[in-house]
Structure 1
């Protein structure tokens, strides 16, 4: 099996496992379990960062650019960006979280930021497939900016 095929197989396995885990969590975590909701969304965001950080290092020249690795991570990011939002339930802004209660009072604004991250991550995945590093850098910056703007509005740092 070629390296690219191995990566694709690994990505498909990760995708299947992620979807299965999401389905299991959605059926086992009750909507009123605020600690579970906080843990769920934080776990997804940590996993997003795990994918995002090496891409950032490549874009900044701190790590050698590997087109296949970048594309794989961008594909994972696009998938993961769809997941954390169900973990933002009413009452889950107290406790061990940096999420602000403004999320509850500004649902429309928060949903726009969530959609922007999903859209930008998907676009990053598509641009990564072109292996045009100049375009990748621009789209990576746009995706990072989307993350930062949401943090500025809805996260206590």
Structure 2
């Protein structure tokens, strides 16, 4: 139950970032991108539903007086689905956000440079009203979640 809850919350975070990223990169209206975002949301909903099933359909704990255990069937489904879901979520983000994950300045110091800042504001700005700084913050956060060493450890953990 703990692992399922942890993954559910992580998918809330990642699905939100993914949805915002495709808006910031200007690809949110493409059907394939919408399908990818929808699939990530479906995985998120699946794990939340399994958590609900574990809690709302408990089984009696044998040998105890009135105690219950979380539903093991839903928990075992989580164990099977999680190693398939997380790599798929990562794949969908990489496919649909694509170069948006790497088309970023190397340092926040670039925004403090009077020589570089105008170019960033002009060429790195996002779609749909995202300023360059906001787009960079969003996409760096998403990259940290899925692409860095930190993100790689999370993928390995979920597998």
TM-score, length-scaled by structure 2? 0.41
Larger Rg: 2
TM-score, length-scaled by structure 1? 0.41
